A and B are shown apart, each in its own frame.
Chain A
Amino acid sequence: MESCAQKKKYAAKDYKSDLKPIWCPGCGDYTVLNAITRALAELALPPEEVAVVSGIGCSSRIPAYTSVYGFHGVHGRALPVATGLKLARPDLTVLVTGGDGDGFSIGGNHFLHACRRNVDLTYIVMDNQVYGMTKGQASPTTAPDWEGSKLTPEGTGINPFQPLVVGLASGANFVARVSSSDPVNMAQIIVEAIRHPGFSLVQVLSPCVTFRPEQAEWRDIVRTAVVDVTDDAARAARRLMTDDGFNVGKVLYKGSRPPFRPEFENTSGSVAELEARFAL
């Protein structure tokens, strides 16, 4: 519990481990790591009261690069691990990090239900429209005509997944899109996402300079969204369905749905009372 005493001051570096990331030079994920640690410092959260959970992929390496509690699970299952952790330990601040393949393809069902369930988590998805760790295959957010993978040489021919629209439709309580090229703004949005109760979804346009070198141009294409935050999910979804995906830097939706939080009630019941029901 916070006493009257001033909060301890933390610097972003207090949340970084001394492990050197395996990411390629120029990868967008470096600034996401910086923004997360900067956000935690601004919130002055003691590192031991924060957990970062991830699945598999380049961006899922983030937990080990932080100095908070981390859990690096299997591909696609970060959200259920984080859900179990947060429900069992509501006192912790739980972040989930990962990529578009981990979150929207193999973990797609968990994404839908995490939005629906609205547990108080902050989900930061580094979207680079490619599977980087397996060396460049199309992901669910890849454009249908991208021919850069030997696995789909003619392109996927499938329309990309719209994470924020699907997130809104499924019940996410906070939706934002940011760019890895603006870590200061990203940190601010992450602070807001953590503070907002319920399931917060932050899509980060985070280029893969190795397998999608053309994404280096994103820094010049992105623009600050001109809309203000709304509490009307339908309105937010309509805007997102008509934009080109490069309007960033703003919180697009903030809902007021109460988070799912089953209480571990301190009831007077005992195991003996449960047993008594079987006695003849």
Chain B
Amino acid sequence: MTVQSVSLVIAGSGGAGVVTAGSLLLEAAANAGWYALMSRSSGPQIRGGEAAAMLRFATEPIMSHDDSFHLLMAIDWENIGRFSAEIPLIATSLIVGDPAHGPAPAALLGGKPREAALAMTAIAEKIESGRPNMVALGAIAALIGLPPEAMQAVVEQHLKRKGQAAIDASMAAFHAGVTAAADLPATPKLPAVAAASEPRWSITGNEATGLGVIRGGVRFVAAYPITPATEVLEWLAPSLAKVGGVLVQAEDELASINQIIGASYGGVPAMTATSGPGLSLMIESLGLAVAAEVPLVVVDVMRVGPSTGIATKSEQSDLNIAVYGLHGDAPHIVVAANSVADCLFTTQWAVHLAEAMQTPTLVLTDQAMGQARAIVPRPAELAFIGQRLTATAAVEGERYKRYAVTASGVSPMAIPGTAGLTHTADGLEHNEFGTPSSQASDHQAQMDKRSRKLTQFNYGDHWAEIIDADAGPGDLAIITWGSSTGPAREALRRFSDAGGKARLISVRLIAPVQPEKMAAALAGITRAVVVEQSHSGQFYRMLRAFYDLPKDTRSLHQAGPLAFGPGRILEQLNAWSS
């Protein structure tokens, strides 16, 4: 395996502190100079129920989980079997359970992993206020080579308010776990690295999404809670207040979208975040924002659909509604983040695009990246600040044309309060002044203008992330988007490390489509595999409709919530090159 990494799962019932343990481990790994990615999976219960923290540690940045896990540490077994498909275990994997909770469920043993016991409960009971999850962390640290002092710092910080006794109890349980791990079979260790040479962040995709829109200039958010987008909003509410912005909890998604339309019409850059069901409710008003030319950003943290689907799990299946959901011909922008860190870039860019083109911009992220936490190199400063072309003064003897037909398609927008430029913004088709019109010529002119402002805009290189662009004629390409980019990136790396030549094109600008740029990116490519997490191959079909693809283009798609491991993608590349 090319990327030097260790993958493990901590699982248990809701009260076992699994996610807390995972978070501590993630931070300790960062202290040790490692990079890390943590996803979580939980049952449908509101409180309690089964939970799993899936972690991967590496000595360089990672954006995907591996094909299988080296270690499953189960604090107890409550319903953990339900995660079996999400936790691939193979013959070299190690599954560690507490004998106090009986044997491992059969569902987890399909891959014939090695089994071992760790008496977490019994060990913890011997320590005053000791908890089994800290014993588990100690054992994990010893197994994967995490220095105890890296954990000490994290525990001290987290339990500062609870006092020294709590810190001592936690660390005593941790060290007991370290000691007990001596009796466990070995798992791969990650080498110690020097302390991080460059600044790093610990951030989730949903936090990065919130930060991105604030960086872009958003100062008004209206939203309705929905899994798995709620953390975007919960992060934004206090953060906006610190930078002179406001978040309003609306009565429903119809209200959220219309409140942000009102705020943006008033001149304040605005956004909302939701998931599939909420996006469905917002669609009519997104068309209003297209017609009335109101800039705004809507983030869809995708989950498994249709309908209520699987609210807590990920899928890339809102592509169709995002691109085609609006009635009428309604040109708008759809962008997609391709990693936890890219949520920051893409949402900040989205604010810039929305404001520059006075049009709604949809951002697609998903549960997998939204609720994942990653240790990443500090994201770069970006120049994208929302800037709107405004009309600021009346021209003597001329009536203001809110929807003036211009070469760029963008018309200077008068913000309420500006004297002499009053007008009515309208979802009815209108003439240049904004006056409702049913004339064919006005409809044609306004349609042309709304379309032109999107097609003539310079999106630069950001339309896609292209890796290994020196692949030559006759070579292979992976075309993907969103969360599938992580495993595709790793598959590409394994393939090229083994001497293969291939190119990765991860499309960030889903709409408007960029056929010329795609043609250039596909120059010399004769075979391509399209990778996505949707049951019907939505992305593949969209590519087929709008792009000239290599003759031999295959679709590798599957429904959520299971993600592609890098190995599945690599198989296709290897099959072609053998």
Contacts and interface: CB of A to CB of B under 8 A. Distances in A.
Q: Does B associate with A?
A: yes
Interface of A: 19, 46-49, 51, 53, 63-64, 66-74, 76-77, 79-89, 91-92, 109-110, 112-113, 262-267, 269-271, 273-275, 278-280
B451 interface: no
B243 A269 contact: yes
Nearest to A74: B288
Contacts of A48: 416-422
Contacts of A109: 251-252, 254-255
Given A91-B417, A110-B254, A267-B243, A81 B201 contact: no
Closest 9 CB pairs of A and B: A84-B262, A70-B424, A269-B242, A84-B259, A80-B258, A88-B263, A85-B262, A113-B251, A81-B262
A275 B292 CA distance: 34
A112 B252 CA distance: 12
B50 interface: no
A274 B211 contact: yes
A112 B250 CA distance: 12
Interface stretch (B173-181, B265-273, B557-565): B265-273
Scoring B242, B250, B251, B424 by chain A CB atoms within 10 A of each residue's CB, the highest score goes to B424
Contacts of B427: 72-74
B201 A278 contact: yes
Contacts of A46: 419
Contacts of B266: 51, 84-85, 88-89, 92
Interface string B251-293: 1101111111111111110100000000000001101100010
B267 A89 contact: yes
B463 interface: no
Contact of B243 (A72, A76, A274): A274
A115 to B, nearest CB: 11
B469 to A, nearest CB: 31
A74 B246 contact: no
B336 interface: no
A110 B251 contact: yes
Interface in B177-214: 196, 199-203, 207, 211, 214
Contacts of A270: 243
A82 to B, nearest CB: 6
B375 interface: yes
A65 B186 CA distance: 79
9 contacts: A53-B262, A72-B426, A72-B427, A73-B258, A89-B268, A263-B246, A265-B244, A269-B242, A273-B242
A194 B425 CA distance: 22
Contact of B258 (A68, A77, A271): A77
Contacts, number: 185
Nearest to B211: A274
B215 A271 contact: yes
A211 B90 CA distance: 74
Contacts of A113: 250-251, 255
Given A71-B292, A73-B258, A110-B255, A89 B416 contact: yes
Contacts of B378: 279
Nearest to B414: A69
B494 interface: no
A64 B428 CA distance: 11
B132 interface: no
Given A73-B288, A274-B214, 10 more contacts: A48-B416, A67-B422, A71-B425, A72-B426, A73-B258, A80-B258, A82-B262, A84-B270, A88-B267, A274-B243
Contact of B202 (A83, A88, A267, A278): A278
A79 B261 CA distance: 11
B436 interface: yes
A63 B242 CA distance: 36
Nearest to B246: A262
A47 B268 CA distance: 20
A87 B242 contact: no
Given A48-B417, A87-B246, A274-B242, A71 B435 contact: no
B interface, size bucket:
35 or more
B205 to A, nearest CB: 12
A74 B252 CA distance: 16
A63 to B, nearest CB: 5
Interface in B211-239: 211, 214-215, 219-220, 222, 239
B424 A81 contact: no
Contacts of A91: 417
A125 B567 CA distance: 62
Contacts of B288: 73-74, 77
A88 B268 contact: yes
Nearest to A262: B246
A280 B27 CA distance: 8
B333 to A, nearest CB: 20
A6 B262 CA distance: 32
A84 B222 contact: yes
Contact of A19 (B251, B255, B260, B435): B435
B345 to A, nearest CB: 14
Contacts of B211: 271, 274-275, 278
A280 B202 contact: yes
Nearest to A116: B251
Contact of A71 (B257, B265, B284): B265
A68 B422 contact: yes
Given A64-B436, A85-B416, A267 B244 contact: yes
Contact of A73 (B201, B292, B375, B422): B292
A109 B31 CA distance: 50
B137 interface: no
B130 interface: no
Interface string B526-540: 000000000000000
B243 A278 contact: no
A70 B425 contact: yes
Contact of B285 (A77, A89, A92, A275): A77
A264 B219 contact: yes
A81 B261 contact: yes
Contacts of B287: 74
A51 B262 CA distance: 11
A18 B157 CA distance: 68
Contact of B200 (A70, A271, A280): A280
A88 B220 contact: yes
B248 interface: yes
B220 A87 contact: yes
A70 B251 CA distance: 24
Contacts of A74: 258, 284-285, 287-288, 427
B245 interface: yes
A227 to B, nearest CB: 32
A181 B290 CA distance: 39
Contacts of B423: 69-70
B507 interface: no
Contact of B245 (A264, A278, A280): A264
Nearest to B428: A72
A278 B203 contact: yes
B201 A280 contact: yes
A5 to B, nearest CB: 16
